[in-house]
Chains A and B, each alone.
Chain A
Amino acid sequence: GNSVTQMEGPVTLSEEAFLTINCTYTATGYPSLFWYVQYPGEGLQLLLKATKADDKGSNKGFEATYRKETTSFHLEKGSVQVSDSAVYFCATPPYSGGGADGLTFGKGTHLIIQP
């Protein structure tokens, strides 16, 4: 089945720094790709998604582009804030072309933003 691999943290940045969290996927076909965020003490929230190659997902200043050439879906933000401190998960369905099954997640990247 499909899988994702993301860079492990923690990633520590200063406020207003540029952020990249790497995620690469292995898949048959072109499944949807997701970034979820987990703030301290809260549940997983969908941050953004892309449903086909070359799509760009964006939300709250974060962006990720579905790149089939490099099988990547890296998360970026131009200027991070302390409030962005959280754990970020890359995810994809285990099989392409179907939306019924559960998601396969990466191990998560803990982002720490220092003021």
Chain B
Amino acid sequence: GAGVSQSPRYKVAKRGQDVALRCDPISGHVSLFWYQQALGQGPEFLTYFQNEAQLDKSGLPSDRFFAERPEGSVSTLKIQRTQQEDSAVYLCASKNLGDTQYFGPGTRLTVL
């Protein structure tokens, strides 16, 4: 079946702009995760949903970051008033039962 998809794959924003990144998880997967991967680093956890409930948002770096999954399927990560330090690859992953997460290709955000 189809894997996790993310859009857009690349996004360039001017400092101060708002951006919205989309994640389509594997159909039927209950859990959805967002990660931030800075250049040359490992992914860092941002937030986690189980169905539509956001159970953990401890990794969100500031209140400019907001994530939602209103119908328990597609999720959107929104970054308000982007800053240069927000430049990174944003990864989405989903899983069902068990502990194996399946990752999307990521969205590369560049803030100028």
Chain A contact residues, CB within 8 Å of chain B: 32, 34, 36, 42-46, 49, 51, 89, 91, 93-94, 99-108
In terms of DSSP, what is the predominant structure of the interface of chain A?
A: loop
Return the chain A residue nearest B95 by Cβ.
A99
A106 CA / B44 CA spacing, docked (Å): 9
The one of A32, A43, A46, A104 that contacts B91, using a Cβ cutoff of 8 Å: A43
- Do B100 and A46 have beta carbons less than 8 Å apart? yes
The one of B40, B41, B45, B102 that contacts A101, using a Cβ cutoff of 8 Å: B45
Count contacts on B: residues with CB < 8 A to the other chain. 28
- B43-59 CB contact bits vs A (8 Å, 1 = yes)? 11110101000011001
A6 CA / B15 CA spacing, docked (Å): 34
A36 CA / B50 CA spacing, docked (Å): 23
User: In the assembled complex, how far is the CB of residue B49 from the closest CB belonging to chain A, in whole angstroms?
Assistant: 11
Return the chain A residue nearest B99 by Cβ.
A99
Contacts of B35 in A (CB 8 A): 102
Answer whether residue B82 sits at the interface, using C-beta atoms and an 8 A cutoff.
Answer: no
Contacts of A94 in B (CB 8 A): 45
The one of A43, A99, A100, A107 that contacts B42, using a Cβ cutoff of 8 Å: A107
- B25-45 CB contact bits vs A (8 Å, 1 = yes)? 000000101010000111111
User: In the assembled complex, how far is the CB of residue B91 from the closest CB belonging to chain A, in whole angstroms?
Assistant: 7
